[in-house]
Amino acid sequence: MKIFLDTANVASIEKYNELGVVDGITTNPTLLSKEKGNPIKTMKKIVEIMKGPVSLEVVAIDYDKMLEESLKLAKYGENVVVKIPMTMAGLKVVHSLTKKGIKTNVTLIFSANQALLAAKAGATYVSPFIGRLDDIGAEGLNLVSEIVQIFASYDISTQLLVASVRHPLHVIEAAKMGADVVTLPPDILDKMIRHPLTDKGLDSFLSDWKKLEKDNPDLAF
Ligand code: G3P
């Protein structure tokens, strides 16, 4: 399963890129609004520093303007994936971009029907927002399971990108279901790295090594 970072924070992207576990980035206007500076420059910088796919979102809602924005975003770099909202105009844009060979990520997916239609229009990725479904008392992971089943039944090549991830268990469950990608806020990746037993075990190893150093003053690797 691929792991994308769900952030527009350049420092974070640089930091986690060095771990070798991040395959791509997803951004949106809300994530960009949390960062200082010009959002266009930020998007271009992210495209430059990240080798893998970077989702950049349009903000127009009508077909012509959305297509125009998409074509501009696609020029930022070969790794750009244009993020398009799941609307009727959005599907039409996805269809047009697909014919031009431009990759797309259909966002704000809340039902399996929406995912199916986005895939039929040619989406490279579909992004179900599972945390937001959980927020309203639905089971976001059920949607992941439905989409996995439908895409497998018809050999659909669109990748399922699980978004709006709120905790590490979401990641494990999405991975078990066979999701292609999860996109994670950096704090969730931190939580996946850490385990109290790892910290405890490391403390013991270090204190035992200190004892060895006492008995062997010249100890060095
Ligand atoms: O890519 C954006 C998506 O992950 C939204 O997450 O936490 O705003 O529901 P959230």
Supply the CATH number for residue 7's domain: 3.20.20.70
Amino acid at 73: L
Could you tell me if the CB of 183 is within 6 A of ligand 1? yes
Whose Cα sits closest to atom 3 in ligand 1? Answer: 164
Q: Is residue 50 part of a domain?
A: yes
63: closest CA among 8, 121, 109, 124? 121
Atom index in ligand 1 nearest the CA of residue 185 equals 4
Instruction: Place 176 in a pLDDT band, splitting at 50, 70 and 90.
Output: very high
> For residue 131, how far is its CA from the centre of ligand 1 (angstroms)?
8
**Which domain does 169 fall in, by range?**
2-186
- Domain-located, residue 202: no
For residue 16, give the H/E element and its range. Answer: helix 10-17
Q: Give 102 Cα–ligand 1 centroid separation in angstroms.
A: 23
Q: Tell me, what amino acid is at 90?
A: G
Q: Is the pLDDT of residue 217 over 90?
A: no
Q: Does 142 map to a domain?
A: yes
- Total structural domains in the chain? 1
Any domain includes 213 = no
- Residue 175, CA distances (Å) to 33, 123, 145 in order: 30, 21, 11
pTM, whole model, 2 decimals? 0.95
Contact in structure between 67 and 45 (CB atoms under 8 Å): no
Would 67 be classed as within a structural domain? yes
Q: Tell me whether residue 176 is one of the annotated catalytic residues.
A: no
Assess whether pLDDT exceeds 90 at residue 141: yes
Question: What's the distance, CA 70 to chain centroid?
Answer: 19
Q: Residue 161: which pLDDT band, with cuts at 50, 70 and 90?
A: very high
Residue 193, in any domain of the structure: no
Is the residue at 201 inside a domain? no
Helices (H), 106-139: 112-121, 130-135
44 lines ligand 1 (CB under 6 A): no
Ligand 1 centroid from CA 169, angstroms: 16
Whether residue 211 lies inside any domain: the answer is no
Residue closest by Cα to atom 9 of ligand 1: 164
